[in-house]
Structure 1
Amino acid sequence: LDPCDADPLLVRSALHHGYPAERDCPVCVSDRLTLLNYIFGDQLGQFSGRIKSNEELAEMEGEFGEFKVRVVEICPDCGWNHLIETFVLGDGRRRRPPRKQQTVEDIYG
């Protein structure tokens, strides 16, 4: 297994939606190491699996009973990627998933 095998979409997501890791890449020593927060959970409905900022996570904590956050670090220079942290957020109140909203994918396939 190659530790520097990041999918091109993961690297692109890191460049556009990530935030600085405040440390250098452990493989190539680049200072562009980036973190992404992925959210997962039954109560999120179609929004499960999306990328969210730290600010959005703080807002969501009071809107959903429970969801998991997986923090991945990605180096856009060498492709290093690694799951560094997993934790659960939410207010503990069980809720139904939000109603499915139509997306561009639904419209154009």
Structure 2
Amino acid sequence: MQTQRQVMSYALQRRATLEAMRRPTRPMMESDPCDADPLLIRSALHHGWPAGQECPVCAGEHLTLLAYVFGDQLGQYSGRIRQPSELEEMEQQFGEFKVYEVEVCPDCGWNFMILSYLLGDGRKRRPPRHEQTVEDIYG
């Protein structure tokens, strides 16, 4: 991606979380990293792409990546999952939006945000016109 900037990797936090999970006398963690929401697991199964490595917790082969996009210029499309090919198209259509990459294991429920970054060409644009969706009609 050509316009990727302000990259934030969470690799150190991920490693610390995994080490804390493997300690024999691990203290009670604030949130268990293997408690993925059922909707997150369903999203990983249907919209994610393979991570290319095994799960760090259960060594399963189904570790999946998801990319969520957020930004004022995205309008109603903010907060949705996008594929890498869609991100490449979007970086020319929108001025600035944030991407959060999350890894999810549907087998054991492991989930962790691994990367965040900004994309876009930097030009300020108005959000796209609101289009009526099924959620608007049926609530």
Q: TM tier, shorter chain?
A: over 0.9
Q: Which of the two has higher C-alpha Rg?
A: 2
Please name the residue that 1:21 is paired with: 51
In the alignment, structure 2 segments of 5+ residues that lack a partner are: 1-30
Please name the residue that 2:5 is paired with: none
Structure 2 residue identity aligned to 1:51: I
Q: Write out aligned runs for 1:1-109 (5 A).
A: 1-109=31-139
Secondary structure, counterpart of 2:46 in structure 1: helix
Per the TM alignment, residue 3 of structure 1 is displaced from its structure 2 partner at its CA by 1.2
Per the TM alignment, residue 44 of structure 1 is displaced from its structure 2 partner at its CA by 0.3
Q: Distance in 1 between matches of 2:45 and 2:72?
A: 28
Q: Distance in 2 between matches of 1:69 and 1:22?
A: 20
Structure 1 residue identity aligned to 2:77: F
Per the TM alignment, residue 108 of structure 1 is displaced from its structure 2 partner at its CA by 1.1
Greater helix content: 2
Query: Deviation string for 1:79-104 (max 9, x for gaps)?
Result: 00000000100011100001111010
Q: Distance in 2 between matches of 1:31 and 1:20?
A: 9
TM-score (norm 2): 0.77
Secondary structure, counterpart of 1:62 in structure 2: helix
TM-score (norm 1): 0.98
Per the TM alignment, residue 23 of structure 1 is displaced from its structure 2 partner at its CA by 0.8
Secondary structure, counterpart of 1:35 in structure 2: strand
What is the RMSD of the two structures over their aligned residues, measured on CA atoms? 0.5
